[in-house]
Homo-oligomer: A and B are copies of this chain.
Amino acid sequence: MLPGLDEVRAAAERLAGRTHRTPVLTCSAMDAMAGASLFFKCENFQKTGAFKFRGASNAVELLEESERGVATHSSGNHGAALAAAAKARGISAHIVVPENATMVKLAAVEHYGGQVILCKPTLEARETTLERVVAETGAFFVPPFDHPHIIAGQGTAALELLEEVDGLDAVIAPVGGGGLVSGTGIAVRGLRPKTDVFAAEPEQADDAARSFLSGKIEPANSNTIADGLLTSLGPLTFQAIRETVSDVIRVSEAEIVAALRTAWERMKIVIEPSSAVPVAAVLKDKRFKGKRVGVILTGGNVDLKGLAKILAD
């Protein structure tokens, strides 16, 4: 069942002191480019470098028999976030990682004390390896997005944004599996019914936009530099998006790279390509002209070498 505003509020109380209350930055150059007043919620400054730590911490704190530890499969930020959340509670975390994941991702999981279990780079191998780990250890599977505790935790970023900035006309967040935009929609629509919520997605991984239009979960078509947004929706996040999101805005790869570069050059912050997706959307979409818009920057975990190549063009 989907969480409501009360569950997001309870998560916020639970996470106080565990997660960073990240700053909200403004940038007059970006405002001029967008023709709007933009308020950037900087989850790139969150612990583990991404909003994922909110949901993972909420899920870990809500475990009852926590001594059994937690497990998940992840090639991205959720694995490091779960490892860090487990470490904070003093329990073990088993993270199944495909063997083609970058060294940076592996190092992050290990940095936070997670036990890495490598598997073949297929979804089937990830799932069967995870099943084996869970069977052997008794660890709880903490999914990356399609779970009420995860969604409620992710919604706390928007809650903080609304507490800090008055009179927002809209809030926009990127959508991959949809945990963040679901929590954002529930928090924003619950607390400020007149504020619209938008999802932003790469054109080349636009399964959420297609699902939004077709009314059923469409498979992912994944080919984008925004590597945090490759996943398709789950039943819960699809429901939350249908109930709370006004539209899914698609942006091109070139628009993502341009937004990424603008954030680095003008805002002086390090964001990952997935975070540049909502930035590209507010810079492009005429609906935001003259409006006050909250933009959730999801994370800053980039491989500097790879990114240097993108930005040096």
Measuring CB to CB, which residues of chain A are less than 8 angstroms from any residue of chain B?
A: 23, 25, 28, 42, 44-45, 47, 49, 261, 264-265, 267-271, 300, 304-305, 307-309, 311-312
Contact = CB atoms under 8 A, between A and B. Distances in A.
B312 A304 contact: yes
A193 B49 CA distance: 37
A215 to B, nearest CB: 38
A112 to B, nearest CB: 11
A269 B45 CA distance: 9
A271 B264 CA distance: 10
User: For the complex, would chain A's binding face be called helix, strand, loop or mixed by DSSP majority?
Assistant: helix
Given A23-B23, A23-B25, A268 B45 contact: yes
B265 A268 contact: no
Given A269-B270, A304-B311, 16 more contacts: A23-B23, A23-B25, A25-B45, A45-B268, A49-B268, A264-B270, A265-B270, A268-B270, A268-B271, A268-B300, A304-B308, A304-B312, A305-B312, A307-B308, A308-B309, A308-B312
Nearest to A27: B45
Contacts of A264: 270, 304
B25 A47 contact: no
B45 A28 contact: no
Given A28-B47, A311-B308, A269 B268 contact: yes
Contacts of A312: 304-305, 308
Contacts of A23: 23, 25
Contacts of A47: 28
A77 to B, nearest CB: 13
A23 B27 CA distance: 13
A309 B311 CA distance: 11
Nearest to A313: B305
Nearest to A23: B23
A307 to B, nearest CB: 8
A45 B268 CA distance: 6
Contacts of A307: 308
5 contacts: A28-B47, A45-B267, A264-B270, A268-B270, A308-B312
